[in-house]
Amino acid sequence: MDAETFNALYGVGTPVRVFPNTRQDPPRITRTRTRAVDFQHGLAVVHVDGCRGPLDIRGIEPLPDNHPVEAS
């Protein structure tokens, strides 16, 4: 999915399950804090609360708007 499609489907503040390092690590439930942007070579990234730096959108799972989020 590219950034434009991601942004059309999910707005800033969308609850997401993130895997900051690998899918073997425990996930975090947080929210997006920026719109996704196309970074390079087809890579789309987004910033989320509680994580430094942008995350590849392939490594996050959007959740329903009413999903509880961990305190940051």
Q: Can you give the pLDDT at residue 71?
A: 65
Q: How far apart are CA 29 and CA 52, in angstroms?
A: 15
**Each residue's pLDDT tens digit, 6-22:** 999 999 999 999 987 76
Please tell me the pTM assigned to this model. Answer: 0.86
Q: How far apart are CA 13 and CA 22, in angstroms?
A: 23
Spans of the chain, pLDDT less than 70? 22-23, 71-72
Q: Give burial (CB, 10 Å; 0-12/13-18/19+) of 21.
A: exposed
Domain ranges of the chain: 3-62
Q: Can you give the pLDDT at residue 8?
A: 97
**How far from 52 is each of 20, 47, 49, 55, CA to CA, in Å?**
9, 8, 8, 9
Q: Can you give the pLDDT at residue 55?
A: 93
